[in-house]
Amino acid sequence: MSQIQPSQKIGKIYQNTVPTSQSVKGGMLKILWQFLTTDNEREPKKQLGPFHTDASIYNTPPATGLRITWMGHSSLIIEIDGKRILTDPVWGPRASFSSFVGPKRFFPAPLPLVQLPELDVIILSHDHYDHLDYPTIKQLAGSNVPIVCSVGVGPIIEKWGVSKSRITELDWGNTATIGNLSLTATPARHFSGRGITNRNQTLWSSWVIKGNQHNIFFGADSGWFPGFKDIGDAFGPFDLTMLEIGAYGAGWPDIHMGPDHATNAHLALRGKVMMPVHWGTFNLALHPWREPVELFIQQADQKKITSFLPKPGLPTEVSGSLNSEWWV
């Protein structure tokens, strides 16, 4: 029985499990000025890659039963115990409401959407533009792949053409089953909203993904909070945790972790191997684009964490420590 409590609302507004500020410290004008004037290398000076996924690899199941293909940011193809999952697919050129402005991808998605392997389920963690991408969902709308999402995200994608029969919305502590696979929505410390007038009217979640051999955790977006230990106690230990390390600072200390808190979250979750996500793809913060992974490696070494850093687009089995150093 899950020990995770369902989400709470005040009126129409979903609440975090601990008090969480979503206000920009110092004010938006100060942050905007810093974005305009910083000397940090927030975007790569030279084109990364090219990265390319050889889709024929998916014809051969992973020998270990667990293989990950990182498409950048929080978009992952996860092969686990005979099932294939796609998380927070963002194939569009920008994490934005517009194709003309907003954070642009550092490199194209390594595998065109039309070449995706057969999927068993798609997970959508929350409704932010860098996790829920309109052009990508529009392209996927014609398929019959089930979609499991946080409460409130379903009506958004239904408006975009996804059949309601494909959509399962989950509150924290609830589980969907896909064959031998269970997907459980768990708390995260974040927020939601695709505009300034609808903030926190849909839910945000992390995810426990359990097969018949492996148990893994997809953290999506979250600041540090004691709930990681609760999730670890209820569902751990985890063979792999996938936790965000990028887009920290910039005035929002409560809703993103950065490498230090992310590695602490991994330990609280009772993770065995940690894969950092949510970095190296979009310019979303003031820090240099390589800084998250450089600090992560330091933190992982100090805390004796087994790290998993595959090259973008390369299907890679989870069998121990890996550092591809693709960003160097």
Reported as a single tens digit per residue, the pLDDT across 57-66 is 999 999 999 9
Residue pair 71/77 in contact by the 8 Å Cβ criterion: yes
What is the torsional sign of CA 242, 131, 44, 283?
A: negative
Which of these, 259, 190, 260, 185, lies nearest to 221 by C-alpha position? 190
Strand 181-186 to 206-210 pairing: antiparallel
250 pLDDT band, cuts 50/70/90, is low
pLDDT score for 175: 98
Instruction: Check pLDDT > 80 for residue 24.
Output: no
Compute the half-sphere exposure of residue 231: CA atoms within 13 Å on the CB side of its CA.
34
The percentage of residues in the chain with a pLDDT greater than 70, rounded to a whole number, is 94
pLDDT score for 34: 65
Work out the average pLDDT over 147-171: 98
Instruction: Check pLDDT > 90 for residue 107.
Output: yes
d(CA 245, CA 11): 32
Instruction: Check pLDDT > 60 for residue 252.
Output: yes
pLDDT tens digits for 191-219? Answer: 999 988 899 999 999 999 999 999 999 99
Instruction: Check pLDDT > 50 for residue 1.
Output: no
d(CA 80, CA 63): 11
The percentage of residues in the chain with a pLDDT greater than 90, rounded to a whole number, is 88
Instruction: Check pLDDT > 60 for residue 239.
Output: yes
Instruction: Check pLDDT > 60 for residue 26.
Output: no
CATH, domain range 48-320: 3.60.15.10
Sheet containing 147-150, strands listed edge to edge, beginning at the edge strand earlier in sequence: 167-170, 147-150, 121-124, 83-87, 75-80, 66-72, 316-317
Q: Tokens 């929080």 sit at which residue? A: 74
What is each CA distance from 287 to 93, 255, 258, 280, in whole angstroms?
A: 21, 16, 10, 11
3-state secondary structure (DSSP) of residue 297: helix
pLDDT score for 258: 95
Instruction: Check pLDDT > 70 for residue 253.
Output: yes
d(CA 189, CA 162): 28
Instruction: Check pLDDT > 90 for residue 23.
Output: no
Which one-letter DSSP state was computed for residue 46?
S
d(CA 103, CA 130): 9
Mean pLDDT computed over every residue of the chain:
94
d(CA 73, CA 109): 10
Q: Amino acid identity, residue 164?
A: K
